[in-house]
Amino acid sequence: MSQMHGRNAKAGDRNRSKLMAGQGRNSGSVLGARGIAFSEPQRLEASTETLLQQWKRERPDLDLGPLGLFAAIAHAYWLTEPRIHRLLADHGLARGTFDVLTVLRRAGPPYTLSPKQLAQSLILSGAGMTSRLDRLEGRKLIVRLPDPRDRRALKIKLTRAGMRLVDVALPDLIAAERALSSRLSGAEMRQLTRLLEAFARSVQLAASGVDGGGVASPVEKRPP
């Protein structure tokens, strides 16, 4: 029963992604470089604007600024994630395992990091990292080695097979990302990158209870 529920949930996620990405039965699309399908240009703008207009009509008392930001980010994710998922699947990878390989690859020789370093880089829990490492080790894309400085610790090393796979998949991923962002100019892309980096820092500070000035926010005490 739980397996059936899991399959239904996954199917629902896929259907939602297709609908949000404009991939429904009657939707129009064009093909970009490498055969990547793009939804009609007006879809993202219409979706975000319509959402805000509807809420302004229903709740004129609310400041909807943050809602528009998060809706646009979510919509961009739903549009791009299925395409990137398919590309990596063609290389026998999922996004999570690919991310582990790329962190090791860009670390440089000897392409070795501790599980803690990997988890911190990918903002993952220890259990989540262990699951990814198990899958990668099973495919001989990484190996677990004893840490020479600490017998109780391990080091994760990228194998030659893992390096070859990253070096083949990464150019394909960059080409796909370039096609998906082709309607932005270089200046727009750099500006958007800076803004999203600033937003990510803001989210990290908010999550850690630190205000914009670097001061810890007071913890609200709940009544007993």
Residues 12-44 have pLDDT tens digits of 444 444 434 433 333 334 334 344 444 444 454
Beta bridge partners of 158: 142
Q: What is the pLDDT of residue 48?
A: 85
Query: What pLDDT, on a 0 to 100 scale, did the predictor assign at position 27?
Result: 38
Report CA torsion sign: 18, 20, 23, 29.
negative
Q: Which residue has the tokens 């958007």?
A: 192
Q: In this structure, are residues 22 and 43 in contact, taking their beta carbons and an 8 Å threshold? A: yes
Q: What is the pLDDT of residues 106-148, one digit of tens each?
A: 999 999 999 999 999 998 888 889 999 999 999 999 999 998 8
Amino acid at 25: R
Q: What is the pTM of this model?
A: 0.70
Rounded Cα–Cα distance for residues 36 and 84 (Å): 10
What's the rounded Cα separation, in Å, for the pair 11 and 205? Answer: 35
Between 161 and 15, the more confident residue is: 161
* Cβ proximity of 125 and 149 under 8 Å: no
Establish how many alpha carbons lie within 13 A of residue 115's alpha carbon, considering only the half-sphere containing its beta carbon: 18
Span between the terminal Cα atoms of the chain, in Å: 41
Torsion of CA 132, 135, 140, 142, to 10 degrees: 10
**Residue 83 CB-density burial (10 A; 0-12 exposed, 13-18 middle, 19+ buried):** buried
The backbone torsions φ and ψ at residue 147, rounded to the nearest 5 degrees and listed phi first, read -80, 120
Q: How many CB atoms lie within 10 A of CB 113?
A: 19
Report all structural domains of the chain as residue ranges with CATH numbers, in order of start.
Answer: 29-90 (no CATH), 95-169 (1.10.10.10)
Query: In the prediction, which pLDDT does 49 show?
Result: 85
What pLDDT digit, counting tens, does each position of 166-187 carry?
A: 999 999 999 999 999 999 999 9
Q: What are the φ and ψ backbone dihedral angles of 84, each rounded to 5 degrees?
A: -65, -40
**CA–CA distance, 122 with 129 (Å, rounded to integer):** 9
Q: Are 156 and 133 in contact (CB under 8 A)?
A: yes
Q: Do the beta carbons of residue 80 and residue 166 sit within 8 Å?
A: no
